[in-house]
Amino acid sequence: MKHTHVSVRIHCIFGTKDRQPLVPDDLQSRLWQFLGGIARRLEMKAIAVGGTRDHLHILLLLPPTIALAEAMQKLKANSSRWMHEQTGRPFEWQEGYAAFSVSISHTDATVAYILNQRSHHARRGFGEELARILSRHRIAA
């Protein structure tokens, strides 16, 4: 793949199982960093990671060697295991995820949105937010 050049930015969103507030405030920044580390090990780049107690957003730069479904499976499985180790309690992400392509011209705005989740969700819950995003992308909820 020496001569392969790609720029695939994907904004991924996934929630905790049953949208329960399972990500304690004091672990969030460490979890976001851990997800960035998983991405690096898989030769992806986590451009931004953020979220709240019941969901997260990650903007990934995907290499040509990994499919989105595989990336999501590995990110979710490894971070679930890490959360269980940190809290001593069972931890699961929801089964599915949402993913949207992001152009280079919208990258900065997407990063700002991801990093500003706490204040954003002071006004709107995760369910409402996801419904709006799906609608904007013409995806039936």
Write down the pLDDT at residue 102: 96
- pTM of the predicted protein model: 0.90
Residue 1: inside a domain: no
Residue 29: inside a domain: yes
Write down the pLDDT at residue 86: 95
Write down the pLDDT at residue 78: 97
Q: How far apart are CA 140 and CA 66, in angstroms?
A: 27
Given a cut of 80, is residue 123 above it in pLDDT? no
Write down the pLDDT at residue 70: 97
Given a cut of 80, is residue 1 above it in pLDDT? no
Q: How far apart are CA 135 and CA 8, in angstroms?
A: 22
Residue 93: inside a domain: yes
Q: Which two tokens stand for residue 87?
A: 């809290």
Residue with more model confidence, 117 or 47 = 47
Q: What is the mean pLDDT of the chain?
A: 92
Q: How far apart are CA 109 and CA 88, in angstroms?
A: 36
CATH number where 39 lies: 3.30.70.1290
Residue 112: inside a domain: yes
Number of domains in the chain: 1
**CA distance readout (Å), 22 to 2, 14, 42, 137, 138:** 42, 13, 25, 28, 30
Write down the pLDDT at residue 121: 67
Q: Which of 57, 29, 58, 56 is nearest to 45 (CA)?
A: 58
Range of the domain at 44: 8-136
Q: Which residue has the tokens 């937010």?
A: 129
Residue-wise pLDDT for 77-114, tens only, equals 999 999 999 999 999 999 999 999 999 999 999 999 99
Residue 141: inside a domain: no
Residue 20: inside a domain: yes
Residue 3: inside a domain: no
Write down the pLDDT at residue 84: 96
Given a cut of 90, is residue 14 above it in pLDDT? yes
Residue 2: inside a domain: no
124 and 116 in contact (C-beta within 8 Å)? no
